[in-house]
């Protein structure tokens, strides 16, 4: 009791100084001033993630699975294209991105100039798919014909040998598909005037579903999940154009099997890049997607996971 009385008998400036000291100690031991984007753990805190919009079905499923297990985490998703996602990681607007290509030499050099070395994992495989109207008289092409389809007016023969001109649709100028076609298929050759660029993959899918003799190039991830509403709405209206290598009579549609066997020529990989250390929410999210749970989610939704659980089968031959 005497100590309490003495406290109030202290000079006013000493009382104020003591209260400030108590406040500093109290708040430094609490979460009041904690920045959850910086001060997080592999299973808690806040995280911004930019991703290639073609992967939205899969990214949202993975995020839902992670957040349902770790209630202390908050993940904000931002749909973009690959280039924008890389730029957001570079400017520290986010700590993780999910894209469908590796960083190129120029991007890696830019990160190194800032003493940054983004870590990454390859978590699944998709592909650039060719889709067409169910009534288009075309079901397969080789890679040389695809090249010609993109670089000059393309004419195919229908079932009674009539010439049919095919119109090409591309999803948008900054998409991962557009970059893949420029870098890996055309390799410097310009698109022909026969190629029409739309605003989105949704536009391309909807146009093909209604219009005969058109082919659209989209990311297979848009239609990989046979239980998704977009697939169900179009499964009887569109079909895949199978693709094979020149000199090979067999052509392949994009699917888990053709990705796994290396048969589909336009297979792509899905990358997660992060700019944080191992004890951070970005690493926890990456690890979850690369875990058996995350990999099974890809498998169920039609993409090829990069890691598959081993199955041990014991055969008892008896005596």
- Assigned domain for 3 exists: no
> Helix 281-290 and helix 292-300: axis angle, to 10°?
60
- Assigned domain for 16 exists: no
pLDDT of residue 12: 53
For residue 210, the enclosing domain spans 126-267
- Assigned domain for 22 exists: no
pLDDT of residue 154: 79
pLDDT in tens, 148-158: 999 988 777 65
pLDDT of residue 158: 56
pLDDT higher than threshold 70 for residue 311: no
- Which residues neighbour 212 within 8 Å (Cβ) at sequence distance 6 or greater? 133, 135, 136
pLDDT higher than threshold 70 for residue 298: yes
Average of pLDDT values for 81-87? 95
Asked if residue 236 and residue 139 are part of one domain, the reply reads yes
The pLDDT > 70 percentage for the chain reads 83
- Assigned domain for 275 exists: yes
Asked if residue 161 and residue 112 are part of one domain, the reply reads no
Asked if residue 259 and residue 130 are part of one domain, the reply reads yes
H helix intervals, the chain: 2-8, 12-28, 56-69, 82-90, 105-113, 143-151, 176-180, 201-210, 229-234, 256-260, 281-290, 292-300
Asked if residue 167 and residue 199 are part of one domain, the reply reads yes
Structure confidence at residue 23 as a pLDDT band (50, 70, 90): very low
CATH number of the domain encompassing residue 283: 3.40.190.10
Asked if residue 294 and residue 236 are part of one domain, the reply reads no
Structure confidence at residue 28 as a pLDDT band (50, 70, 90): very low
Asked if residue 133 and residue 71 are part of one domain, the reply reads no
Q: Tell me how far apart the alpha carbons of residues 182 and 279 are, in angstroms, rounded to a whole number.
A: 38
SS3 content of the chain, % helix, strand, coil (to 5): 40, 25, 35
**What is the pLDDT of the chain when averaged over all its residues?**
87
Asked if residue 117 and residue 66 are part of one domain, the reply reads yes
pLDDT of residue 157: 63
Three-state SS for 178-245 is HHHHHHHHHCCCCCCCCEEECCCHHHHHHHHHHCCCEEEEEEHHHCCCCCCHHHHHHCCCEEECEEEC
Structure confidence at residue 70 as a pLDDT band (50, 70, 90): very high
Asked if residue 273 and residue 255 are part of one domain, the reply reads no
- Assigned domain for 13 exists: no
Asked if residues 127 and 268 have their Cβ atoms less than 8 Å apart, the reply is yes
The pLDDT > 90 percentage for the chain reads 73
Find, among 229, 128, 107, the residue nearest to 175 by Cα: 128
pLDDT of residue 127: 97
- Assigned domain for 164 exists: yes
Asked if residue 85 and residue 183 are part of one domain, the reply reads no
pLDDT in tens, 136-147: 999 999 999 999
Average of pLDDT values for 209-228? 96
Structure confidence at residue 172 as a pLDDT band (50, 70, 90): confident
Asked if residue 234 and residue 131 are part of one domain, the reply reads yes
Total domain count, the chain: 2
Distance of CA 67 to the CA centre of its chain: 18
pLDDT of residue 76: 97
Asked if residue 241 and residue 274 are part of one domain, the reply reads no
pLDDT higher than threshold 50 for residue 4: no
Q: Tell me how far apart the alpha carbons of residues 120 and 287 are, in angstroms, rounded to a whole number.
A: 10
- Assigned domain for 176 exists: yes
Asked if residue 261 and residue 130 are part of one domain, the reply reads yes
- Assigned domain for 90 exists: yes
Average of pLDDT values for 57-83? 96
Final residue belonging to a domain, choices 246, 267, 288: 267
């Amino acid at each position: 009791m005497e100590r309490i009385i003495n406290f109030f008998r202290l000079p006013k400036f000493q009382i104020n100084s003591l209260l400030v000291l108590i406040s500093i100690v109290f708040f430094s031991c609490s979460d009041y001033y904690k920045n959850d984007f910086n001060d997080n753990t592999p299973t808690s805190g806040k995280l911004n993630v930019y991703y290639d919009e073609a992967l939205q079905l899969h990214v949202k499923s993975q995020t839902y699975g992670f957040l349902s297990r770790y209630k202390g985490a908050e993940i904000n998703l931002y749909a973009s294209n690959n280039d924008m996602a890389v730029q957001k990681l570079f400017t520290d607007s986010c700590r993780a991105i999910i894209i469908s290509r590796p960083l190129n030499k120029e991007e890696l050099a830019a990160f190194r100039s800032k003493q940054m070395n983004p870590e990454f994992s390859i978590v699944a495989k998709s592909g650039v798919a060719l889709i067409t109207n169910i009534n288009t008289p075309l079901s397969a092409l080789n890679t040389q014909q695809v090249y010609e389809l993109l670089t000059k007016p393309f004419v195919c023969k229908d079932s009674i040998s009539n010439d049919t001109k095919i119109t090409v649709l591309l999803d948008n100028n900054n998409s991962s598909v557009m970059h893949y076609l420029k870098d890996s298929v055309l390799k410097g050759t310009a698109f022909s005037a026969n190629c029409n660029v739309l605003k989105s993959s949704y536009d391309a899918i909807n146009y093909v579903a209604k219009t005969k003799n058109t082919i659209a190039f989209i990311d297979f991830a848009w239609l990989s999940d046979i239980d998704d509403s977009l697939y169900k709405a179009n499964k009887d209206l569109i079909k895949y154009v199978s693709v094979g290598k020149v000199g090979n009579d067999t052509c392949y549609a994009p699917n888990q099997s053709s990705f796994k066997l290396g048969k589909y020529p336009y297979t792509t990989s899905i990358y997660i890049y992060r700019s944080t250390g191992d004890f951070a929410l970005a690493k926890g999210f990456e690890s979850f997607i690369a875990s058996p749970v995350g990999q099974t989610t890809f498998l169920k939704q039609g993409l090829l996971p990069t890691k598959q659980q081993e199955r041990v089968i014991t055969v008892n031959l008896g005596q």
